Chains A and B, each alone.
Chain A
Amino acid sequence: MLGNSILLAFREIRRNVLRSFLTILGIVIGVAAVIIMVTIGGGATVQVSQQISNLGSNLLMVTPGKRLGPGQTSETVPFKMSDVDAITRDVSSIAAVAPVSSRSLQAVAGNSNWSTTVTGTENSYFKVTKRSIRSGRTFSESELRSGSAVCILGDTVRRKLFGNQDPLGEKIRLEKLSCKVIGLMEPKGQSTMGTDQDDLVVIPLRTLQRRVTGSTNIGLIQVSVRDGASTEKVQMEIGQLMRERRHLAPEEDDNFNVMDMKEITKMLTGTTQLLTALLSAVAAVSLLVGGIGIMNIMLVSVTERTHEIGIRLAIGALEREVLMQFLVEAVVLSSFGGLLGIVLALAGSVWLSGLLRVPFVFNAGIVMIAFLFSAAVGVIFGYFPALKAARLDPIVALRHE
């Protein structure tokens, strides 16, 4: 009996190519959308964690202003060089401290120009951010002290401005500032949030302050803790020191922020997880819409097919044989659509994760859920309307045309 039902089901599928195709399409789209969204979202989350651990767990970021998050703008007291010196001098177990101030500027060399980030800092920056110099050199003491017009290029800037030529010793112009290229950094690739970490020009802090921003403010202090030392202890010491230097009364909140990588990780992965949740919601809606599509097609087709059911019953088919045929048909279509959706989704995820440069993380759970959901929709909506039709008197079913 099952053999017959399979035979009849396949005949019906072949007989109604368009209807079968539409059913499959609904399932394919639903399944593929969910799997792709969740896979890419999961990949992004993994990537955030990976890159943060690449940065190292011993990095601290000291930013002016209250807690990160909304409403931090109010009365931000900026850092000065003396804060950096104080941290270097008074806090123990520190490997390096780097003041960082940045501006977005247009960099020009010959006929090429490229808009990039110009960071003013000191040589400790390379140590703190784990960047190494590929060719050329870092800043000399006198260049730092006098604020000379020299710069070190990130790989993207080098490529955009100089192509295959050797930029060492050449001049580039950063708005009104013309400076000499003395070094090139090793490329670091893309960061967590998809920004290019090699799209920057590093110049001495003093050069930036004097010739670009015209202020002695420092945007951010990056501190790397000595290996083996407690990050938390250093974090507390910096906090204490800054409170003293800013004369904060005991009841006042910090008007600065010392974050370690754990907090930054939490913040960033929180963002990507939120993003994943949003994408998943969108995907769930598309799965639902796909499901409704399948449902409609099945309902319409059963109404259409009541006459066919009447013919089968009149010829001597049993109710359960008719139902078995519809069940097999629904199962075959849904699982075929589901499998196609999975294949498509995996191919799409691999391609997209390559494009977006996030790792491809296979999530078996969501694949199962998406498949089972669509299969259930197909089977339920293929089966129950057919049940109604198969229970009709043959003569009544035959009158439907």
Chain B
Amino acid sequence: MSETTMNLTLRVWRQKNAQSAGTFVEYEAKNISVDMSFLEMLDVVNEELTARGEDPIAFDHDCREGICGMCSLTINGKAHGPLEATTTCQLHMRSFKNGDAITVEPWRAKPFPVIKDLVTDRSAFDRIIQVGGFVSVSTGGAPDGNALPIPKTDADAAMDAAQCIGCGACVAACKNASAMLFVAAKVGHLGLLPQGQTERDRRVLHMVAQMDEEGFGNCTNIGSCSAVCPKEIGQDFISRLNRDFLKASLRAK
């Protein structure tokens, strides 16, 4: 054992499929380099499991750059683990130390049922976007990109919200499994731009209705969602969503 490697004990949630009950299983992870990402550490464990003839641990991942939003682990009780503004795939083992015990679980939220081990079904997010998270312009016929100047501050604020990677950490971190931060990010992104104005009321009403239908809980303003958000999307967008929703509801009456 050198300073650059460590041995760890993992408690990993194993669940054969959506129907079966899951349980924690303990694994040893040996000679883990500090330069590995958390997922590369799991790769090592999986290689060993395979060599022993045991089913490797299933987890979601793709880009491993913190942008696709596919990776999704609750590590020691925290969505995406201990480091702020960091997805699981960008969390490196230098954040841990030799001898640590690490608990690894899937997102825990009713609207995100477990498919297998650490893999969950997050299609509810797609359905929320499908009812209104867009600007209804078909291809062709768009005016020149510079026809409509947009103040830099608005464009920047819209970008702050638009950065959402749809990972679902906000839901996993919320004791009510609320999807308010996710919805607020899209409503905020489009609502801050002139292009998003014509459908502003409709968008917020439809998205919130779908969010409720999917079984996401209410927001009680605790802020756990922003605290785990890898893109640091702020609570102010939730306040904005509430204002937009209220105004749209009044106007709809």
- Interaction A to B: no
Residues of B in contact with A (beta carbons under 8 Å apart): none
